[in-house]
Amino acid sequence: MAVQAIVHEQLGTPLEGHDIVVVDGRIWLKPDGIEFFAGDLPEAEQKLVWATQAVPVPDLFNQKVDGVAWRSKPSWYIVATKDRTVHPDLERFVAKRMGATIYEADSSHVPMLSNPGLVIDVIRTAAKAVASSQRAA
């Protein structure tokens, strides 16, 4: 069984055939699935997100990548506590494994859209921390 199916099964998130569909080797969000992805946005913004979605490949969770930055560089992670696409507990697990500085947002999967102030604050905090560590070195 693919990793994403196990994760969906264990965490109770939407499965293919319900809110997503795999077509032409890509995962597409169905119109009725947008509430799982961006449910805290106004309806008009949800429609825009759906219409402009970037579509990942189905084996996204099985891909191996060499030289990932989080293994050797400081990391920051925003856990979206109302995420219904990737379970917040899975996000916390990943962030902890990364050794990331963790922030939590009362947000769907897209805190950069629903809570941009927090996201820019985290980016600024990360940039300041990296700049400070480079000056100290």
pLDDT of residue 1: 38
Residue 18: predicted pLDDT: 60
Reference 58, options 108, 20, 89; nearest CA is: 20
Higher pLDDT, 41 or 5: 41
Nearest to 104 by CA among 83, 125, 84: 83
Give me the residue spans of the domains in the chain. 3-136
Taking residues 23-47, report their average pLDDT. Answer: 90
**Distance between CA 101 and CA 77 in Å, rounded?**
6
Specify the pTM: 0.79
Phi/psi region, residue 12 (left: phi>0; alpha: psi -120 to 50; beta: rest), is left
Query: Which residues are registered as beta bridge partners of 29?
Result: 20
State the CATH class of domain 3-136: alpha beta
Please tell me the predicted confidence (pLDDT) of residue 4: 52
